[in-house]
Amino acid sequence: MLFASVAILRFGGAEVLEYTEVDASEPGPGQVAKVVLRDDLPGAVAALTDGRGFDVAIDPAGGAARRASLDAPARRGRLIAMGNASGADDVPSRANELWFGGEGVLGFNPGALSGERPEAVSGVLRQAVGAVLDGELRVDVGEVLPLRDTVEAHRRIEGGRTTGKLVPAMEQE
């Protein structure tokens, strides 16, 4: 769902800023406007938007990344909390600051939605897969790893040391 959300925003002309916990100075081809270290996110957003802040941030990581996202919205900006991949404790928001700026924090749980309304999710997923197959949307594959390296792939993901998708591949015999 996160891939589909970002891809649709990009397809609609949005500039996409990706953050990471490791130094990755080059974004995936055609994917994002810029890749920055998570701790530099508020400054990078300010530079990219001439100080205005982001309109929409989609945060699947939680923790420090969510805190950084909460510090960088435009007036009437929205943060969509879409997971807690970091496993970090909850990040409190400041209700008065949200109110003064007309900002919002929304939760989106694709797993819960697919359980409640599978017909809605399956239709959107079919459209997203169709757009990928037609070449309208592109998946940023960071690296293809042999299936035997799945444990290492999980270590990289859990450690925040990846950009793009890690794809397991069956080995040819």
Q: Is the pLDDT of residue 103 over 90?
A: yes
Identity of the residue numbered 129: V
* pLDDT value of residue 172: 64
| Of residues 103, 96, 101, the one with CA closest to residue 78 | 103
> Can you give the pLDDT at residue 88?
87
Q: Please, which pLDDT band fits residue 102 given cuts at 50, 70 and 90?
A: very high
pLDDT at 108 over 60: yes
If one compares 36 and 48, the residue with the highest pLDDT of the two is 48
- Find, among 76, 77, 59, the residue nearest to 68 by Cα: 59
Please give the mean pLDDT across all residues of the chain. Answer: 78
Distance CA 76, CA 100 (A): 9
Residue 59 pLDDT > 50, yes or no? yes
Q: The pTM is what? A: 0.66
Give the residue with greater pLDDT, 159 vs 27.
159
